[in-house]
């Protein structure tokens, strides 16, 4: 059994901050845990407005608090996000995420992240990032 809490995970180096200042992510479950997916609690800061394109990962995102929107770039559709909303990037959807109020999100990635990833120039996570060192 694996049991972790947010504070311990952050103290173990599992909290990653976006160099661009849009988010921080506490990675509670990672590739080394051998579950086949990773699980993160991510805070999207108020006023964040940034493009992502997970070419190497599928992601599900559940909003626990806050407000914002996600826009799919292929068709320009905008979807409101509020507590209780889930969006699933099942086709490696290129998208823009905007936070009008700071959002707390529960995120699942497949394949799992190693833990140190931040977005590259295309808004994706690399598959071969260095693992977290505890």
* pLDDT per residue as tens digits for the range 86-117: 999 999 999 999 999 999 999 999 999 988 87
Measuring CA to CA, how many Å separate 74 from each of 68, 71, 116, 132?
A: 19, 9, 29, 34
User: How far is Cα of residue 40 from the mean position of the Cα atoms in its chain?
Assistant: 7
Q: Does the pLDDT at position 121 exceed 50?
A: yes
Count Cα atoms within 13 angstroms, Cβ side, for 127: 6
Regarding predicted confidence, which is higher, 54 or 130? 54
CA distance 19 to 105: 19
* pLDDT per residue as tens digits for the range 34-62: 999 999 999 999 999 999 988 888 999 99
Decide if 86 contacts 109 (C-beta within 8 A). no
Q: How crowded is residue 33: how many other Cβ atoms within 10 Å of its Cβ?
A: 16
- In the CATH hierarchy, which fold is given to the domain comprising 25-109? Jelly Rolls (2.60.120)
- Please state the pTM of the whole predicted model: 0.89
Domain positions in the chain: 25-109
């Amino acid at each position: 059994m694996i049991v972790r809490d947010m504070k311990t995970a952050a103290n173990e180096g599992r909290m990653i901050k976006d160099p661009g200042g849009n988010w921080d992510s506490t990675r509670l479950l990672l590739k080394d845990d051998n579950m086949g997916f990773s699980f993160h609690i991510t805070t999207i800061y108020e006023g964040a407005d940034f493009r992502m394109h997970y070419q190497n990962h599928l992601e599900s995102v559940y909003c626990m608090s806050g407000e914002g929107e996600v826009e799919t770039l292929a068709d320009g559709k905008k979807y409101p996000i509020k507590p209780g909303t889930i969006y699933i990037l099942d086709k490696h959807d290129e998208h823009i995420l905007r936070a009008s109020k700071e959002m707390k999100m529960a995120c699942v990635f497949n394949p799992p992240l190693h833990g140190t990833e931040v977005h590259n120039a295309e808004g994706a996570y690399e598959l071969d990032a260095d693992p977290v060192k505890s």
